[in-house]
Amino acid sequence: MNLTRLAGDIHRFGITCRRVAVAVTVISVSLHAGAEAPDRDGTQIATTVCAACHGMDGNSMIAANPHLAQQSEQYIAAQLAAYKSGARVNPIMQGMAAGLTPGEMKAVGAYFAKQRLAKPAIAKDKKLALEGQQIWRAGIKKLDVPACAGCHGPAGAGIPAQYPRVAGQWGDYTLDALKQYAAGTRKNVMMQPIAQRLSEGQMKALSEYMAGLR
C-alpha cells in the first residue's frame, strides 16, 4: 500500500468534508435569516429590551427618554416600523427595531398601552405653562399655528393610530422633539411646518404646559 498516496487521499477527503459542512451551515443560516421568527410576547421584549431606557412599565426615569405608558398601541408599532425602515432616524432605536417583526411591534405597543402613567412630569414654570395653555387651546392665528388640542385632544390623550398621546410627557423630551421637527431632522408632514413657525420660547411654553396635562 502506498502510504503517501493514502495520506494525501485522506487529507483531500478531510478538506472536502469541511467544505461541505461549511456550505450546509451557510445555507442553513440563510434559510433561517429569511424566515420570519414567531412573534414574541410583548411583555418579554418590553421588560428585557425596552426597560433600560423607558422603564419596566413605560415610565421613563430619564427626561431624554419618553414615557411610553398609556401611549397608543398603533402609534408605538408605527414608530418602531419607521425606525426599522429608516424613515425615522435614531441609531439606538434603529438597532432595537431592526430584529422585530410587525407582530412583535404590535405586541410591544399593546403592552405599553396597558400600563399607567404613574410618574407623569409636572409643569415647573407657571408663567410658561399659561402661555403654553393658550397655544395649546387656541393656537397662534398670526403665525398660522393651529391649536394643538385639535389633533392631540383637549387633555392630550391623542387619537390612536393618528396622533400620539403627549399629556404628562417629559418637557425636555417634547422640547427636543419640536426642535427636531423645526430643523427637519425628524420628519412629519404636519408637525414640521408648525414647529418651524414657533420660536424657541413658544416651544418651551408648550412643552411646559403639556408636561402638566393629565
Verify that 154 and 178 share a domain, yes or no.
Answer: yes
Backbone phi and psi for residue 163, each to the nearest 5 degrees, phi listed first: -130, 135
126-158 pLDDT tens trace:
999 999 999 999 999 999 999 999 999 999 999
Any domain includes 118: no
59-109 pLDDT tens trace:
999 999 999 999 999 999 999 999 999 999 999 999 999 999 999 999 999
Grid cell, residue 29, equals 443560516
How far is residue 205's CA from residue 66's CA, in Å, rounded to a whole number?
18
Average pLDDT over residues 157-163: 91
Verify that 20 and 93 share a domain, yes or no.
Answer: no
Residue 1: predicted pLDDT: 44
Any domain includes 50: yes
Any domain includes 119: no
Residue 38: predicted pLDDT: 53
Residue 120: predicted pLDDT: 66
Any domain includes 105: yes
Backbone phi and psi for residue 140, each to the nearest 5 degrees, phi listed first: -130, 100
How many structural domains compose the chain? 3
Residue 117: predicted pLDDT: 93
How far is residue 17's CA from residue 48's CA, in Å, rounded to a whole number?
41
Verify that 23 and 57 share a domain, yes or no.
Answer: no
34-43 pLDDT tens trace:
344 556 789 9
Where would I find the H helices in 35-125? 42-45, 51-54, 73-85, 91-97, 102-113
Any domain includes 121: no
How far is residue 43's CA from residue 40's CA, in Å, rounded to a whole number?
9
Query: Which of these, 111, 88, 112, 108, lies nearest to 100 by C-alpha position?
Result: 108
Average pLDDT over residues 31-56: 76
Residue 2 reports pLDDT greater than 60: no
| Domain of residue 150, CATH code | 1.10.760.10
Domain boundary, last residue among 62, 79, 113: 113
pTM score of the predicted model: 0.79
Any domain includes 155: yes
Verify that 144 and 204 share a domain, yes or no.
Answer: yes
Q: Which residue has the higher pLDDT, 39 or 47?
A: 47
Any domain includes 205: yes
- Domain range for 154 is 126-212
Residue 214: predicted pLDDT: 81
Verify that 132 and 156 share a domain, yes or no.
Answer: yes
Measured N-to-C along each axis, helices 73-85 and 102-113 cross at an angle, to the nearest 10 degrees, of 140
Verify that 23 and 73 share a domain, yes or no.
Answer: no
Verify that 58 and 12 share a domain, yes or no.
Answer: no
Non-local (6+) Cβ contacts of 164 within 8 A are: 71, 72, 75, 152, 158
Identify the weakest region by mean pLDDT among 44-53, 123-132, 185-194. Answer: 123-132
Domain boundary, last residue among 113, 145, 171: 113
Verify that 149 and 191 share a domain, yes or no.
Answer: yes
Q: Which residue has the higher pLDDT, 190 or 35?
A: 190
Any domain includes 120: no
Verify that 65 and 30 share a domain, yes or no.
Answer: no
Q: Is 81 helix (H, G, I), strand (E, B) or coil?
A: helix
